Amino acid sequence: MGASVGIHIEGLSKRYGEGDTAVDALKEVNMSVAPGEVVGLIGPSGSGKTTLLKCLGAVIEPTRGRMTLGGEVIYDNGWKISDLRVLRRDRIGFIFQAPYLIPFLDVTDNVALLPMLARRPNGEARARALELLTALDVAHRAKAQPSELSGGEQQRVSIARALANKPPVILADEPTAPLDSERALAVMRILNQMATQYQTAIIVVTHDEKIIPTFKRIYHIRDGRTVEEAGEGRALQ
Ligand SMILES: Nc1ncnc2c1ncn2[C@@H]1O[C@H](COP(=O)(O)OP(=O)(O)OP(=O)(O)O)[C@@H](O)[C@H]1O
Ligand SMILES: [Mg+2]
């Protein structure tokens, strides 16, 4: 895999639209996240945070620049991967602002679905789901339907789902916003454990003052440009 394992972004730009109404949401952004690292991405509303995660997650196409994920160039002034769907399914865990659970599957199957799609045996996928639900303190709701859960419980299930395939990259957009302080820190503890245990590279977009002190490294984004700085890196017991 060589030196470029993790997440690397070089000169990444994204323009929405054309002509007078064009918006330059990202302006030659550079960013690197090593395997095992959890970095914060912080910036005001409209600064380009979600756009950056969507480019990295191959949800939208950048305008130019270069992106490497897990040792492979995925974008270099054009996609370098033929099947972006498989890339998203197997290599990237997404945690969105809203949980987007599948309403007709119970909690366990919502989490087990991705490992099953990746052809893991059903028993193994469900055992993994239960392990994650336990770690996220929602195992007692394993048989419930998503509509029967509180907002915070749904969010924790969606985090379990993002971790289920042990992806080398996790992209999280405001993952702790609906959670109380204790659970927000529990989520950060799990993300940090995941990073260490599976050498996952994790980017967390957040405004959440409860979790900002936990990052060792932070990228600030303002008007489409990033600046890196050291964080407090407060220990999560
Ligand atoms: N699909 C789109 N078409 C046109 N402009 C867009 C589109 N999506 C986002 N933008 C613009 O790009 C800029 C960056 O938006 P983005 O959603 O990345 O911001 P953000 O940092 O995630 O903000 P927030 O904190 O409010 O979620 C904004 O000016 C926004 O209006
Ligand atoms: Mg956003």
Query: The domain that contains 200 carries what CATH number?
Result: 3.40.50.300
Decide if pLDDT at 174 tops 50.
yes
Number of domains into which the chain is organized:
1
Give the residue-averaged pLDDT of 199-214: 93
Q: Which amino acid is at 139?
A: A
Is the residue at 81 inside a domain?
yes
In the block, residue with structure tokens 């929405």: 16
Is the residue at 118 inside a domain?
yes
Give residue 4's pLDDT.
60
Q: Which of 23, 54, 223 to mutate to test the pocket of ligand 1 (most atoms within 8 A of CB)?
A: 23
pLDDT > 90: what percent of the chain? Answer: 70
SS3 214: helix
The CA 50 to ligand 2 mean position distance, Å, reads 4
Number of Cβ atoms within 10 Å of the Cβ of 235: 9
Decide if pLDDT at 1 tops 60.
no
Range of the domain at 212: 2-230
In the block, residue with structure tokens 């998203």: 88
Q: Which of 29, 51, 54 to mutate to test the pocket of ligand 1 (most atoms within 8 A of CB)?
A: 51
Is the residue at 137 inside a domain?
yes
CA gap 66, 85 in Å, rounded: 19
Give the residue-averaged pLDDT of 110-128: 92
Of 183, 155, 35, nearest in space to 95 by CA: 155
* Better-scored residue on pLDDT, 229 or 2: 229
With contact defined as beta carbons under 8 Å apart, do 185 and 143 qualify? no
Ligand 1 atom 1 nearest Cα: 16
Is the residue at 140 inside a domain?
yes
Give the residue-averaged pLDDT of 18-24: 95
The CA 96 to ligand 2 mean position distance, Å, reads 9
Give the residue-averaged pLDDT of 173-182: 87
Is the residue at 237 inside a domain?
no
Give residue 2's pLDDT.
42
Tell me if the pTM is above 0.85: yes
Is the residue at 236 inside a domain?
no
CA gap 182, 220 in Å, rounded: 25
Which residues in 141-151 are b (16+ Cβ under 10 Å) and which e? bbeeebeebee
Decide if pLDDT at 190 tops 90.
no
For residue 17, the ligand 1 atom closest to its alpha carbon is: 4
Beta-carbon contacts of 44 under 8 Å, excluding residues fewer than 6 positions away, are 222
Give residue 187's pLDDT.
86
Mean pLDDT of the chain: 92
Is the residue at 235 inside a domain?
no
CA gap 123, 131 in Å, rounded: 12
Decide if pLDDT at 29 tops 70.
yes
Decide if pLDDT at 133 tops 60.
yes
Ligand 1 atom 30 nearest Cα: 46
Give the residue-averaged pLDDT of 75-91: 92
Decide if pLDDT at 76 tops 90.
yes
Is the residue at 225 inside a domain?
yes
For residue 14, the ligand 1 atom closest to its alpha carbon is: 12
